[in-house]
A = this chain, B = another copy of it.
């Protein structure tokens, strides 16, 4: 699968001299991402496209490339696949739609194309595939113009093209993390989740995997592979088509067979994968799993400047099975240094009285640090409200806690505040490796997933040794 992500050279059919076709977008993306391999436009007449020497066909190349991408109408695909075979191009990404996704004659056309690829010894991603992104090599086949992505351990395999399109742009422009690799498989006439997951399993750039699937052909092999991966790399799964209508839609969308919902739910958990219910949750958890160290237990220490934040955090912890250990005498003693004598400090700690007495920075730092020193507090969650008047240097304070207690996961959340303040605050937090959330419930859910994954992993490791 390496050539689908890090090829030495790529041929692109579907770029024009005037530069306005989708193939041109793919070439521009590769340049923006710094792809250093050879890019060869294929065009019946053009000599050069975007300054690159063009060739009339794959067979006319002086030496074969590792992969061809066909951003051309579906009628031209059968010939294109055969060209790959004759020219010794062993990988192809087919972006055209109108195959199994369209039903009717599209189904037959897909079978024909898949057969041609098999005969020609060509591995095919698609049809109806937006292809791949690799921040390692800068190889990007997306036909939507993408902003350059940062590197991060998160790799995605998905049926939908969203992850190499709108979602990649959302990550590039609004998130502090980036991506390692993305594969958008489309109709999966040949390359499927198993192929990609085996590659990600062994890929040193991939430390965490997100899967969006509407159904896998071989559920048993899929689960077996997950069991193999999850002790080493966390895996998040968003299963589309889990419901009757959804799975009817999934079938018409990519022509794949959607498994029964109940098969997935339990089996995924047993295989150590974390099932999520939405894209929002997928990225919420991916952030925590990328940034945080392993929690040693299920207990949170919560610090909030508003009582409402404390109550909401406590509710969410209870719902998701996280603990809130009472503060021990030593912790209270330390915390009382920054609080008025009459303040009743508990966990969650409403620190408003300490803020009134000694200022917001001193209150957050002093009480979070006191909690961090307590053994049975395994994770820390400061809840903020973002205020314009504050001269509280949140990055300085939490940078110190991060350094003093590197083994305790810190997750932060903010309630309210202006859009601009939220962006600044979350950038400051995530710059320290502290995942930041816009809601208490989402931060607690991320902490719960962190604990769930690591306790499962510890158990598996223990059994492996035993």
Residues of chain A whose beta carbon lies under 8 Å from any beta carbon of chain B: 25, 97-98, 101-106, 144-145, 147, 158-162, 165-170, 172-174, 212, 214, 240-246, 248-250, 252-254, 277-280, 306-312, 314-315, 317-319, 324, 340, 342-344, 346, 348, 350, 352-353, 356, 385-389, 414-423, 438-442
Partner of A170, one of B246, B308, B416: B416
A97 touches B419 (CB 8 A): no
User: Is A311 a contact partner of B166 (Cβ separation < 8 A)?
Assistant: no
Shortest CB-to-CB span from A252 to chain B, Å, is: 6
Using known A-B contacts A98-B342, A147-B418, A417-B169, determine if residue A314 contacts B353 with beta carbons closer than 8 Å: no
Q: A353 with B418: in contact, given A319-B243, A389-B145 (CB under 8 Å)? A: no
Asked if A311 meets B240 with Cβ closer than 8 Å, knowing A104-B342, A439-B279, the reply is yes
Assess the A246–B315 pair: CB atoms within 8 A.
Answer: yes
- Chain A to chain B contacts (Cβ below 8 Å), 13 pairs: A98-B342, A102-B342, A102-B353, A162-B309, A166-B386, A166-B415, A166-B416, A173-B420, A240-B308, A240-B315, A243-B314, A253-B350, A280-B438
Nearest CB on B from A341, distance (A):
10
Closest B residue, CB atoms, query A356: B97
Report how far A441 CA is from B87 CA in the complex, Å: 46
Question: Is there an interface contact between B279 and A344, defined as CB atoms closer than 8 Å?
Answer: no
Known: A165-B385, A169-B417, A169-B418. A277 touches B307 (CB 8 A): no
Residue from A101, A165, A167, A440 having most chain B Cβ neighbours under 10 A: A165
- Give how many copies assemble into the complex: 2
Closest chain-B Cβ to A361's Cβ sits at a distance in Å of 17
**Minimum CB distance partner of A310 in chain B:** B249
Beyond known contacts A98-B340, A162-B309, A249-B310: 18 more, CB 8 A cutoff: A98-B353, A102-B353, A161-B308, A162-B306, A162-B416, A169-B416, A169-B418, A169-B421, A240-B315, A246-B314, A249-B311, A249-B348, A250-B307, A252-B350, A253-B311, A254-B307, A279-B439, A419-B423
Q: What are the residues of chain B within 8 A of A249 when measuring CB–CB?
A: 307, 310-311, 314, 346, 348, 350
Q: Provide the residues of chain B in CB contact with A161, threshold 8 Å.
A: 306, 308
With a cutoff of 8 Å between Cβ atoms, the chain B residues found around residue A353 in the complex are 97-98, 102
Instruction: Tell me the complex Cα distance, A458–B252, Å.
Output: 37
A107 vs chain B, min Cβ distance (A): 10
For A167, list chain B residues within 8 Å (CB): 415-416
Name, among A249, A419, A422, A442, the residue most crowded by chain B CB atoms within 10 Å (CB to CB). Answer: A249
Whether the pair A441, B174 counts as a contact (CB closer than 8 A) is no
**Using Cβ atoms and an 8 Å threshold, which residues of chain B touch A324?**
245
- Return the 7 tightest CB-CB contacts between A and B, nearest first: A166-B416, A160-B308, A253-B307, A243-B318, A173-B418, A166-B385, A246-B315
Interchain CA distance A144-B252 in the complex, whole Å = 53
